[in-house]
Amino acid sequence: MTTFVDTLKTFYETEPDRPSVTLQHPGQPDFTITYRELIERANDYAAAYARAGIKPGDVVILILQHGRDLVYSFWGAVLHGAIPSMMPFLTEKLSPERYRSDLTTLFTHSRPTGIVTYPEFETDVKTMVTESGHTVRDVFVTDRIEKQETVDFASLSGMKRDEGETVLLQHSSGSTGLQKGVALSHRAIFNHLDAYGEAIRLTRDDVIVSWLPLYHDMGLIACFILPILRGVHVIQMSPFDWVRAPYRMLQTISSYHGTLTWLPNFAYNFCAQRIRDRDLEGVNLSSWRASINTSEPVKFKSHQVFYERFKGFGLRLETLQTSYGMAENTFAVTQNDLDKLPCVEEIDRESYITDKIARPAHDDRPSIQMMSCGQPISNTSIRVVDDQGHDLPERHVGEIVLKSNCMLNEYYNRPDITKQAFLPGGWYKSGDYGYVVNNEVFVAGRKKDLIIVGGKNVYPQDLEALACEVSGVHPGRTVAFGLFDEDEGTEEVVIIAEVETDDESEHERIAGDIRKHVTKNSAIALRHVRVVGPGWVLKTSSGKVARAANKEKFIKELAASQ
C-alpha cells in the first residue's frame, strides 16, 4: 500500500536535495524547490491545519496564485490527510461580486473547513466565510504560517490515510463546474501515473515545462502531481505571464532542456502567430520530445502552423502528439504512440452529419479532417455506445464510455450525479462523442452543449443567463455558442441577444454592455456579440432557445455580410 505521504517520505529520506519544482516569475531569478524544502514548508502548513482543528478527510480550499505558497499549502494538506482543492484566483477582469457567488457555490458543495489565502485577500475571504461558509473553521493567511523545526512523519495524520481514500478534489471552472468536485484517491492517481507514465515512457531524466493553471487536470495531474510523485523536475510559470509572453515557454524549454509539455490546441496557434524571432535568439528546442495536445479538440492544422513556425529552432514534427483525457479518469484516457505521428484522416462530411458514420472521404466530396487522440492507455478500456448504451461498430459515432482503475471515487458530496454518470457495469459516460478505427480514438464533439475556449470549459446556459441580466435584453432570448476559428485553433464565444428595438446605435450600445457584463461575471472573453431586433431568435416548439438552429442562422448571416 502506498499513499502520497509514503512517497514524499521516501524522497525526504533518500533524495532530499533533488530539485522538484522550479517556479518562474518575470523579472525575478527562478526559484527551485528541492524535496527537502517542499516537505519542510508543507509541514509548516500541516502543523497549522492541525492546530486549527482541521481533521483528516476535511476539504481545504486554496485561493492562491502560481507561487510557492500554493505548492506548500497543497502538499501540507496532503501531509495532514486533508483534501486540498484549488480555486481559480480572482482576476482583474472578473467582478468581485461574481467571484463571491462562485465561492458560495463552492462552499455549499465542498463544505471546506479551511481556506488558505494571501493577506491582501483575508478580509474579503472572511466576509464570504461569515456569509456562506458555515463549515469553515479557519482562514489561513500565507504570511502567518509558523515555521516548524522538524518533520516528524510518524506524527502526521496523513500517514494514517488509506490508499482508497480521497486525496484531492478537482473542480472545473464556472459556476456549474464548481458544483462538481471530482474526488480522486491515492490509489487511482498512482494507477494512472503507472499507466500514463508507461504510455509516455516517462523517466526521471525528463524535464516538464508548464504554464498551465493547477486547478485544471492537465496542469494539476500532468504538470504537478505526476512530476512531484515521480521525481521528475518541473518548471512552472503562471498562465497570466505566459499569455502576455508566450515566448517564455520556448526559452524555458531551451534553457532547462525541457522534454515534455502539455498544451491545449489553441496554444499552438497562439505561439505560432504571436512570437517574434527577436525573442527566440539562441533558442534550441531539440530536447523537446513530446508536446501533448489535449483538453480541447485537436487539430492537425494547428500542429502544422506550429511546426512550420518553430522547425528552424530544432522542433521535430514527431514532438507534436495528442491525448484525450478527463478529470474523472484522473487525466488521460488515450495517448498517441510517441514513436509515430498522430493518425490524420479525411472523412466524408455528409455521411458524418447525416448517418453519424465517419467514412473515409472519396473523390472530391466535401470532407472533414480528423486527428486521432491515440489509443487507450493500458489501464483504461473504452467503448463507443448509442443512446441505449449498446456498442457501436468501428467508425460509427457515439458516446465514449470508459472503465479503468483510475476513476474518481465520487463527485464530492453529490451521490445523485455520481450515480447518473455511470452505465451498468461501471462504465463512465464521458459525454463526448467519438469513433474508433483500429483502436485509434477520434473525438468528435460533446453530447451536451459545452463551449471549449482556450482550454476552458464553459456552459452556454451560464453565459445566456448573464446576457439576460443586461438592461434592454429580452429575458429568455439570448443564445450562446462556440464557433470554431481555424486561425486561433479554438472556439470563439458568440452571444446573440434579442432586444425590443431595431435601432442600430442602441444595438451597438447594448452589445458593449453585454460584452462587459458577461466578461466581468464569467472571465470569458466574447468574440462576437450580436444584438438583434424582435423575432430574430429561433425557439423550439416547447419554447426553449434552439442553440443549433440559431448558430446556423448566425453563420449564414455572417457569411452573407462578408
Partner 1 sequence: MSEEMQKQLSDFIAAKILKQPKRVIQPAEALISGGVIDSFSLVDLALFVEDTFGVRIADSELNANTFDSIEQLSNLIIARQKK
Residue 311 touches partner 1, criterion: CB under 8 A: no
Residue 29 touches partner 1, criterion: CB under 8 A: no
Matching residue, cell 502544422: 304
Nearer to partner 1, 180 or 517 (CB): 517
Residue 454 touches partner 1, criterion: CB under 8 A: yes
Nearer to partner 1, 391 or 486 (CB): 486
How many CB atoms are located within 10 Å of the residue 420 CB? 10
> Which one-letter DSSP state was computed for residue 221?
I
Q: What count of Cα atoms within 13 Å lies in the side-chain half-sphere of residue 345?
A: 22
Cβ-based burial of 502 (10 A; exposed 0-12, middle 13-18, buried ≥19): exposed
Compute the Cα dihedral for 295, 300, 303, 305 and give only its sign.
negative
Nearer to partner 1, 8 or 518 (CB): 518
CB of 467 to partner 1, least distance (A): 13
Nearer to partner 1, 125 or 466 (CB): 466
Query: Cα(234)–Cα(23) distance, rounded to whole angstroms?
Result: 9
> Which one, of 132, 73, 122, 130, lies nearest residue 102 by Cα?
132
Query: What length is written for the chain?
Result: 562
CB of 55 to partner 1, least distance (A): 39
> Residue 482 in contact with residue 445, Cβ under 8 Å?
no
Residue 508 touches partner 1, criterion: CB under 8 A: yes
Which helix (H) or strand (E) segment holds residue 463: the answer is helix 460-468
Residue 246 touches partner 1, criterion: CB under 8 A: yes
Which regions of 171-246 does DSSP assign to beta strands (E)? 182-185, 207-210, 233-236
Residue 527 touches partner 1, criterion: CB under 8 A: yes
> Residue 528 in contact with residue 559, Cβ under 8 Å?
no
Residue 52 touches partner 1, criterion: CB under 8 A: no
Among 134, 201, 204, 274, binds partner 1 (CB under 8 A): 274
Residue 415 touches partner 1, criterion: CB under 8 A: no
State which of positions 355-414 bind partner 1 (CB under 8 A).
none
Sole window of 32-40, 235-243, 419-427, 470-478 interacting with partner 1 (rule: CB under 8 A)? 235-243
Among 2, 13, 14, 26, binds partner 1 (CB under 8 A): 26
> Residue 527 in contact with residue 493, Cβ under 8 Å?
yes
Which helix (H) or strand (E) segment holds residue 307: the answer is helix 300-310
Residue 459 touches partner 1, criterion: CB under 8 A: no
State which of positions 62-121 bind partner 1 (CB under 8 A).
92-93
Query: Cα(291)–Cα(302) distance, rounded to whole angstroms?
Result: 12
Among 9, 515, 547, 551, binds partner 1 (CB under 8 A): 515
Among 82, 260, 370, 511, binds partner 1 (CB under 8 A): 511
Query: Cα(6)–Cα(167) distance, rounded to whole angstroms?
Result: 13
Cell of 334: 488515450
Nearer to partner 1, 239 or 398 (CB): 239
Sole window of 15-23, 365-373, 495-503, 519-527 interacting with partner 1 (rule: CB under 8 A)? 519-527
Residue 512 touches partner 1, criterion: CB under 8 A: yes
Residue 525 touches partner 1, criterion: CB under 8 A: yes
Q: How far apart are the first and last CA of the chain?
A: 63
Nearer to partner 1, 101 or 135 (CB): 101
- Contacts with partner 1 by CB under 8 A lie at 26-27, 92-93, 240-241, 243-246, 270, 274, 276, 454, 508, 511-512, 515-517, 519-520, 525, 527-529
